Structure 1
Amino acid sequence: MLALGLDLFAVNDEKFMDMFVAPGAIDALQNERESLHKRQKILHTCLSEFKSVATALQW
């Protein structure tokens, strides 16, 4: 029990978190973040175009 306690709590935060992170999980999350960021840019462009069309149709 003492050895387990030392393994879990006698390490720095980075090493502690590495014990609980699945291999490749961080890369997968970063890729997902980049993908969502690209999608956000595309949707923002679509919104701007939609606003321009809506404004033009009001005249």
Structure 2
Amino acid sequence: MKLIQLILGVLLPPVGVFLAFGISTTLLINIGLTLLGWVPGIIHAVWAISKQQEQQAIN
């Protein structure tokens, strides 16, 4: 599932963030960044998904 989230984070950033976080402020931020430009949306999505996976690994 982690790989799918990262792939979707690159292809469709809001979808990848939605799968990782659900409906949250992180999703709204990503939608805004994606509307401003696809690349900022990708960067935010990959960063957010990676941070979430890192937090799950620590716990």
Question: What TM-score, normalized to structure 2?
Answer: 0.37
Higher RCO (CA-CA < 8 Å; seq separation 6+): 2
Q: Which has the higher helix share?
A: 2
Question: What TM-score, normalized to structure 1?
Answer: 0.37
Structure 1 or 2, whichever has the larger Rg, is 1
